[in-house]
A and B are shown apart, each in its own frame.
Chain A
């Protein structure tokens, strides 16, 4: 009985099997659920609560209650509503930075690993230059020079993150290009870029995507850090900024700092766990 189930599982095509594998793992469901919930919050939340964001009330620095679930700040604004607005900033910055870093890094890394030794050396030295830059200081300098703005923050984070992706992609490409099936593809008369694109990249991409989800977490942290030090965009709500303004009232109103802090923690954790699970599922050889 058991063996017949297994046999039908192997007969299923790849995507089906991967989906089933994802759905059967509690950790994947949990982290994936949180990521989806956060995305929903960021997408729909502001449409419902957006208007109330700057609504002040007489209830200043009120603790969590039935009316204001997460309390209010020093101007009587709802912490919950601000957090929902802030999720937009955090997720946008995180995802945009991760996607651009992953795409750029993967392309550069693939070319570096597949091209000649000279090109490879050149690209790797450049990644090293980027990797030794103190990221937070660089971000602070750019913001100080050109003024704050979400686009700039995304750019800074992407600039700092692509080298990790490029190096990982290059390593994978170097490993895979020496395997027999790549030689077999060359012997079929494929052009070098076809071999790279159709045989090498699909097998190299899984760990890079996982790394991308880790970059989401790093980017959210970096954005929060910048906002905490007052280097974020002044006109958008963000979890980091809430932490910054909350610290002044830490002893009177813990909820101003704790809830945004928890939000950052949970978001970064969820993306990292989801990334780990994705990597496992995308490995065609892993069983069950």
Chain B
């Protein structure tokens, strides 16, 4: 075997020092051959980003990192100083959020030119345009400021800068996580094209096996600081030994059977939106976000609303929750017209429906402990003060936060992401709501959390005949979790029907584009029975 471009052996990184350092990376070895594409997958906290940053000695000094292990680049041993000198010369890095890595006050053309000035002082003046063309951007983009570009364009600029330094290895840390699926597909295609042209090696850090399987030959699965599985992609996928790897594969594939229809279409819907229109702004600057969209949700059923960011799906959710008043249309909850109600009647009627937001520290009032949060919700359901504590414990245990009593006096920001998401569901249950409106409740959540929350929602749906409006951009999740799927594009529902039918055989061109762009785990090994 030829000398690997980069080899890491027995790398351990711990933070904090003192008596109890936190071990983020624990004895990891990997090597990247020249021109190869290697992926490291794992959930947040698994140590994959720490690994990537250690390569260029980019760890935050405030964490007092201690690094042990050996690095070799091109066969030569590298200490920290040598690794720093690789930055932007031999090795370039692309991050998840390009906006925070670009100078907001400098035109992007100049930022690329700056890199050139260091690495290619003799470069011709039109070299910047050449690089922009290579990443498929128009020359005019050079005069733009980073905030004037879309997320995908910014990521292209970052890649152009990586090309400008003539790197032989590109480290991409979740490069497409913040992007829409169709943009993601374009960026991934671009990276593949450039690798083919320049022979650049790639180290891809990702949580998405779908992305990994379209990009890389070799994969390392990290879990709690250790590599638990490694090898050629097809082999790892075919013979996944670790439960964690298996759930990662299941999350990114169309392997799970779609759920059938849950409700009789003849039954009256519990939540019905019809001809909803909403625009923001006035006069010529008005933007029509919703252009006559409508959905129907029945008892015991999950309807997934899928679409890209900007399609209007979150606005539609806000309209459903009566948080935004539409310009036109009809909104019915339990057969009653919410838009025609007096504010007082609306206050009482709306509690039959409750939101579950994306996990964030902003979903809960930071001044209220769990008991306070649930107490408020229980008050809505008419539970008397004296029984609220006992009922709160009961609800916490229903969402598998047990023992419930241990959580009562905690604050939401002291809980983990998965616990917080279950607390959000507990709050919705405590109100006695029959309709849940979940806006991207699992985006940003790791696969292991996601699986557990989805299972919990299914269980509760079966017990209580909950109707769930589930807004997501993840079509595989929509396919396996929802009974029906509605696809939203530019403020309109373009296609709607049973989840399996819509995603496996999309008819509308937009749905076709959405489905084909969504990275799917490419299973090239022997098929595993579903």
* Residues of chain A within 8 A of B353, CB atoms compared: 187
B366 x A180 contact (CB < 8 A): no
B377 x A180 contact (CB < 8 A): no
B239 at the interface (CB under 8 A from A): no
A203 x B366 contact (CB < 8 A): yes
Interface size of B as a range: 20 to 34
Separation of A175 and B429 alpha carbons in the complex (Å)? 28
A145 at the interface (CB under 8 A from B): no
B145 at the interface (CB under 8 A from A): no
* Residues of chain A within 8 A of B360, CB atoms compared: 180
A284 x B364 contact (CB < 8 A): no
A181 x B411 contact (CB < 8 A): no
B323 x A189 contact (CB < 8 A): no
* Residues of chain A within 8 A of B20, CB atoms compared: 2-3
A183 x B321 contact (CB < 8 A): yes
> Which parts of B408-422 form the interface with A (CB within 8 Å)?
409-411, 413-414
A120 at the interface (CB under 8 A from B): no
A179 at the interface (CB under 8 A from B): yes
Contact with A along B280-310 (1 / 0, CB 8 A): 0000000000000000000000000000000
B366 x A285 contact (CB < 8 A): yes
B351 interface neighbour in A1, A3, A11, A189, Cβ under 8 Å: A189
Separation of A11 and B355 alpha carbons in the complex (Å)? 28
Distance in Å from the Cβ of B116 to the closest Cβ of chain A? 41
Separation of A285 and B413 alpha carbons in the complex (Å)? 8
Separation of A185 and B380 alpha carbons in the complex (Å)? 11
Distance in Å from the Cβ of B373 to the closest Cβ of chain A? 9
What residue in chain A is nearest B321 (Cβ atoms)?
A: A187
What residue in chain B is nearest A3 (Cβ atoms)?
A: B20
Distance in Å from the Cβ of A283 to the closest Cβ of chain B? 9
B362 x A181 contact (CB < 8 A): yes
Contact with A along B428-440 (1 / 0, CB 8 A): 0001000000000
* Residues of chain A within 8 A of B431, CB atoms compared: 188
Separation of A188 and B19 alpha carbons in the complex (Å)? 47
A191 at the interface (CB under 8 A from B): yes
Separation of A27 and B19 alpha carbons in the complex (Å)? 28
A187 interface neighbour in B354, B361, B362, B410, Cβ under 8 Å: B354
B414 x A179 contact (CB < 8 A): no
> Which parts of B359-413 form the interface with A (CB within 8 Å)?
360-367, 369, 376-377, 380, 409-411, 413
A184 at the interface (CB under 8 A from B): yes
B357 at the interface (CB under 8 A from A): yes
A284 x B351 contact (CB < 8 A): no
What residue in chain B is nearest A183 (Cβ atoms)?
A: B323
Separation of A1 and B20 alpha carbons in the complex (Å)? 10
Separation of A180 and B365 alpha carbons in the complex (Å)? 9
Contact with A along B302-329 (1 / 0, CB 8 A): 0000000000000000100111000000
| Extra A-B contacts (18), CB below 8 Å, given A184-B363, A184-B364, A185-B376 | A10-B414, A180-B363, A181-B364, A183-B321, A183-B323, A184-B427, A186-B323, A187-B351, A187-B354, A188-B376, A188-B377, A189-B348, A190-B347, A203-B366, A203-B367, A284-B367, A284-B411, A285-B413
18 A-B interface contacts by CB (under 8 A):
A1-B19, A2-B20, A10-B410, A13-B369, A14-B367, A180-B360, A180-B362, A181-B362, A183-B321, A183-B357, A184-B357, A185-B365, A187-B322, A187-B355, A189-B347, A189-B380, A203-B366, A284-B367
Pairs of residues from A and B, 10 with the lowest C-beta to C-beta distance, nearest first = A189-B347, A180-B357, A179-B362, A180-B363, A189-B351, A284-B366, A181-B365, A180-B362, A188-B380, A202-B367
